[in-house]
Amino acid sequence: MKRIILIILFPIILIGCKNENKKQKEIENKNYQISANITGLKDGSKVLISNATNGKVLDSTILTNGKFKSEGSIENPPIQVNIMIQNDEERVSSFIYIGNENIQIEGNKDEFPNDIKITGSKYHQYKKDLDQRTDSLNNLRSNHLQTMFSLRRENKWNDSLQNAYWSKEEGIITKIDNQTNQITKNFISENINSDYALSQLIIYKTDFSKDFIEKQIGKLNSEYENSEYSKVLKTYLKNEPLSTGDKFYNFSAENQKGNKVNFSDFFEDKYVLLEFYSPYCSWCLKALPEIKKLSKEKSDQLEIVTVNVDKNKEDWLQKYKSNNITWTSLYDENGRYSDVYTKYRVFATPTYYLFDNNGTVVEKWDGYNDNLTDQIGKRIKNGG
């Protein structure tokens, strides 16, 4: 029966592959173009266009007579792009969600970040819709946070205020976050067959029940049911987060020498530090000297394995060489949509897992802090 089904579906699959290849070819042969007319900012202001996910600069230019143009290529579109305009006196920025399209931007500096007019993108309209639903709550949250920070600076913060702002059910910030999450949930449910809604579901998946995620997967149309979004969500549902004492998730990836290796190969008689890293992540670069120092000082006790989470292979290899990394670095062509990224519950870079020589989780660190390598060293010294 299975063979008959495969034979029947083969022409459909073949057509689908041809269409996908055609779509990919169109993407590869097309650049984005941004034309902007922004008033209220000083001529000569620097304009920086960057990938908001990994921080990679796509283009830079100058504001002249209130206008600028930018052209480049977006890898794996659509993505969220950050447009930042700054001079010695001021800075404004806005996030837009686009592919390789012809984009027009109009507005004045006071309309940043969310009220500037964006046209020409079939993708950004979804982001604009969600922004309009949540803007008032986001502004309210920001105002409350400013008040909170002021109270802390004035040494007026106490347990009572902590409870008032952050208690699980009645906290000021908690209530706002719950309302925002519900709005986002409704938006995702209404627009699930769109790139932006799916990207939001992946980013905030831990905020939603597994039942909700399963229902959204069940609503996917033919364009998205076998997409990388769908694969990530299914992987997430099938695998529980690792806790202290759990065994590692095995995976295979390409190392810097071009060889396919298994993560399980690194467990012999040493601890293993698994690092998730992006070449354009400022905190990853800040951590690099300390990780190098750790590698040198603990070489007889610790094996370091870095997983690059970006899809651009050339960037990975170039940064590996220019940063003079001496330990193993791994590449997965699926990047942040890979199984390893999802199984290990990576939400930002850098992320670290320390395993003992049996492959058991000793500890996880989300992000870098100045005491990180000392903490890792102590865990190794104390036998986990």
Integer Cα distance of 313 and 332 in angstroms: 9
Question: Residues in the chain, how many?
Answer: 384
Integer Cα distance of 116 and 251 in angstroms: 44
Per-residue confidence (pLDDT) for residue 382, from 0 to 100 = 83
| Exposed e or buried b per residue across 93-127, where buried means at least 16 C-beta atoms within 10 angstroms of its C-beta | ebebbbbbbebebebebebbebebebeebebbebb
Q: Work out the percent of the chain whose per-residue pLDDT is above 90.
A: 90
Convert the pLDDT of each residue in 41-96 to its tens digit.
999 999 999 999 999 999 999 999 999 999 999 999 999 999 999 999 999 999 99
Q: Are 305 and 327 in contact (CB under 8 A)?
A: yes
Per-residue confidence (pLDDT) for residue 383, from 0 to 100 = 77
Per-residue confidence (pLDDT) for residue 384, from 0 to 100 = 67
Per-residue confidence (pLDDT) for residue 24, from 0 to 100 = 47
Give the sign of the dihedral formed by CA 356, CA 360, CA 363, CA 365. positive
Give the sign of the dihedral formed by CA 233, CA 237, CA 240, CA 241. positive
Integer Cα distance of 131 and 29 in angstroms: 31
Per-residue confidence (pLDDT) for residue 381, from 0 to 100 = 85
Q: Are 383 and 367 in contact (CB under 8 A)?
A: no
Q: Are 199 and 227 in contact (CB under 8 A)?
A: no
Integer Cα distance of 208 and 194 in angstroms: 18
Per-residue confidence (pLDDT) for residue 250, from 0 to 100 = 98
Integer Cα distance of 88 and 83 in angstroms: 17
Residue ranges of E strands in 205-345:
252-255, 260-262, 271-277, 302-308, 328-331
Q: Are 96 and 50 in contact (CB under 8 A)?
A: no
Q: Among 9-13, 203-207, 247-251, which is the least confidently predicted range? A: 9-13
Torsions phi, psi for 357 (to 5 deg) = -70, -10
Integer Cα distance of 384 and 375 in angstroms: 11
Q: Are 259 and 290 in contact (CB under 8 A)?
A: no
Q: Grade residue 169 by pLDDT with cuts at 50, 70 and 90.
A: confident
Residue ranges of E strands in the chain:
32-39, 46-51, 57-62, 67-72, 79-86, 91-98, 102-108, 117-119, 252-255, 260-262, 271-277, 302-308, 328-331, 351-355, 361-366
| pLDDT, mean of residues 336-351 | 97
